[in-house]
Structure 1
C-alpha cells in the first residue's frame, strides 16, 4: 500500500468528489479511481460504495479515513522536523523569562529537557514583560515565560503554567518583616524596587501602579542580584513571584506574602510562542515546564 493511495483516498473524502480530488492531486479521474480500486484490493475490503456520481463510506472506510489522516499528519510533522534538523547544524531553543523570576524551576526543566534532547542547545535571556514580547514578535526568542498582562493574541499559543502567589522581599531590619502578610497599604511609605531593562521603566511602573495599586517612589535596577542587595540595605522592598519551590532569600532578607483587599495577590503565568513557529521541541519544553511547576 502506497502513501499516495492513502492521500488520494483522503482527498476524495474531503472533497466529496472523485473529480475534484483528481484535480487537487493533479491526476486524471480514471487514474485516481484505479488507485482506490488498487487500495481496496490490497486491503481486501471495500472502503466505499459508489452510486453514480456519489459515494458512501463503509464502516471500514470510515475507520481507514480517520486513522490514515492521523498517520499522514504525523508523517508531515516528521518530514518537517527532519528537514529542520538537516538545515540546522545546531538546534537552539531560545527561552525568555522575567527579570524577577525565580530560576530554580526553569533550570530544573532545562536540565530534564537537555537529558532527553541532547541535540538541542538551550539559550536563555531575561527581560521585562514588554521586552520579552517584543523579542518574541521579532523572532529573537522562540518561547517566553511571563505573566498575562494583555489580551490574548490569536497568533500565539498561551500555555498556562500556574497561578503565582505574589510576595515582597524586605529587609529583616525593617519592622514590617515581622508580619505574616503585607498589604499595599503597609508598603505605601517605602520605595518599590523593580528589576527592569533600560527604556522599559515607564511600562513596568504603569503596571504596578494600575494592577497592584502601588503608587509611590520606584527604584530601578538591572538585575535580581542588584535588587536584593538594595533590599538587604533597607532601601526598599522587592515584589517577586514564586511559581514553584521557594528558594531561601539571601541573608538579611525576609519574604512575605503580598495581599490586596484582604486577599493574596495572584498572577497567571504562561508559556507563549508563535503558532507559525511551533515545533515539537517548543511544545515538549512547555509541557515539561508545567510539570515542574505543578
Structure 2
C-alpha cells in the first residue's frame, strides 16, 4: 500500500467528493477511483460504500481514515524535520519559483536582498506549481513564488503579489501571429505547450483544461528554453503569466494577450510560507519582491 493512496483516500473523505478530491490531488477522477479500488482489493474489505452518486465510509473505512490521518501527519513531520536538520548548517533563505517565470523583478529582489543581508545565503530552485507545493509543505524551501490554485490555507502566510494577465507566445510564422489578441477558442487547433515534468503532465493538463478553460491538445517541455524552441518550430503556443517586467521577445516570436471570449485570462501570483517557519528574512524578501512588482 502506498502513502499516496492514503492521501487520496483521506482527500475523498475530507472533501466528501471524488471529483473535488481528484482536483485537489491533481489527478483524474477515474484514476483516484482506481487507486481506492486497489486499496480495497489489497485489504480485502470495503472502505467506501457507493450508492448511485453518493457514498459513505464503512466502519472499516472510518478506522482506515483516522489512522491514515495520524500516519500521514507523522510522515510529513518526519520529512520536514529531516530536511530542517540536514539544511541547518548555515543561515540561508531557500526560494522556489515557477519554471515558466520570466519576469525580471525576482532577479532584482535577489540582488537587493543580497546587498542588504550579505550574511544570508540564498538558494533558488525552479519547479512546477505541484513541485513547489510539495517543497514548501515538506520543508524543502522557506518561501515559494507560485500561482494560486488551491484555497488559501490557515497554516500558511498567503501574500498576494499581483493579479496578472496571461499571454500566448506564438511563432511569427503562425497565421494567428498577426492578431492583437487571441482567444482560447481561436487557439483550439493550436497545441498548448506546458512546462512540466513527465509525471505531472496529466495533472497540469487537467488544470489548464478544466480550471482555466484551455481547449485542444497539449505538448510538454521540461523548461522554458525548450518550450520557446518548440514555439520557434511553430509546434504550438506557450502560455505565460505577465509577472512584472518581462524580457523582450525575439523577432520570430509574438507575445499576444490571451482572452477567454471578451475577458482577459488572469492568474493570481502569491508568495507562500509556513506560518510556523516564519522569520524576518522570509518576510523581508516577500516585501522586497512585492514592492518591485508594484
Asked if TM exceeds 0.5, the reply is yes
Establish whether residue 185 from structure 1 lines up as the match of residue 210 from structure 2: no
8 Å CA contact 1:127, 1:197 repeated in 2:
no
Q: Which residue of 1 aligns with 2:121?
A: 121
Offset from partner CA, 1:21-62 (integer Å, 9 cap, x none): xxxxxxxxxxxxxxxxxxxxxxxxxxxxxxxxxxxxxxxxxx
- SS of corresponding position for 2:149: coil
8 Å CA contact 1:148, 1:270 repeated in 2:
yes
User: Counterparts of 1:14-163 in structure 2 under 5 Å?
Assistant: 90-163=90-163
Once the two structures are TM-superposed, the CA of residue 103 in structure 1 deviates from its matched residue by: 4.1
8 Å CA contact 2:105, 2:289 repeated in 1:
yes
- SS of corresponding position for 1:111: helix
Establish whether residue 219 from structure 1 lines up as the match of residue 257 from structure 2: no
Runs (4+) of structure 1 exceeding 6 A deviation are: none
The RMSD of aligned alpha carbons is 1.5
Q: Which residue of 1 aligns with 2:42?
A: none
Q: Which residue of 2 aligns with 1:281?
A: 281
Q: Which residue of 2 aligns with 1:209?
A: 209
User: Counterparts of 1:253-268 in structure 2 under 5 Å?
Assistant: 253-268=253-268
Unaligned runs of 5+ in 1: 1-86
Q: Which residue of 1 aligns with 2:233?
A: 233
TM-score by length of 2: 0.69
- SS of corresponding position for 1:199: helix
Q: Which residue of 2 aligns with 1:195?
A: 195
Computing the radius of gyration from Cα coordinates, the structure with the larger value is 1
Offset from partner CA, 1:172-225 (integer Å, 9 cap, x none): 111211111000011000111000123111111011001222132111110000
Unaligned runs of 5+ in 2: 1-86
- Counterpart-to-counterpart distance in 2, 1:179 and 1:103: 23
- SS of corresponding position for 1:100: coil
8 Å CA contact 1:156, 1:274 repeated in 2:
yes
- Counterpart-to-counterpart distance in 1, 2:269 and 2:232: 27
